[in-house]
Amino acid sequence: MKRKLIPDIKDPIGKYWSQPKQEDFLYIEPEDVIVMSELVLESIKEYSRSIPSGVYEGKMWRSWSGKCWQLCWYDEKDPNDERYILIKRKDIALF
């Protein structure tokens, strides 16, 4: 079974964070880009100059990289040090 790109939110605090479902966008692996509508993009909270507090797996936000929007998310705990959580990001392409 293939692992989801973005882990599900399991932390109880996550029920207060609004974000689209992964089914609302498409990850294209060879191009390493996430494709979504402008409506979905606008539904994702923006943190271009900071990162959101309330750190838990699966929480996503968008950030302007200077050339395009990026989808960012808290991934899994760092396997080398469980005190830290990894932040991942992918470029967004709109359709």
Q: Which of 4, 2, 1, 21 is nearest to 76 (CA)?
A: 4
| Within a domain: 52 | yes
Alpha carbons 12 and 56: distance in angstroms, whole number: 10
| Within a domain: 2 | no
| Within a domain: 90 | yes
Alpha carbons 55 and 66: distance in angstroms, whole number: 25
| Within a domain: 5 | no
| Within a domain: 71 | yes
The whole domain housing 45 covers: 12-94
| Within a domain: 20 | yes
| Within a domain: 63 | yes
All residues at 6 or more sequence positions from 22 whose CB lies less than 8 Å from its CB, including other chains: 4, 5, 6
Q: What is the pLDDT of residue 2?
A: 57
Question: What's the mean pLDDT in 86-95?
Answer: 96
- pLDDT tens, position by position, 22-64: 999 999 988 899 999 999 999 999 999 999 999 999 999 999 9
Q: What is the pLDDT of residue 37?
A: 98
Number of domains in the chain: 1
pLDDT band at 12 (very low <50, low <70, confident <90, very high): very high
| Within a domain: 33 | yes
pLDDT band at 13 (very low <50, low <70, confident <90, very high): very high
Alpha carbons 84 and 24: distance in angstroms, whole number: 28
| Residue showing tokens 């996503």 | 60
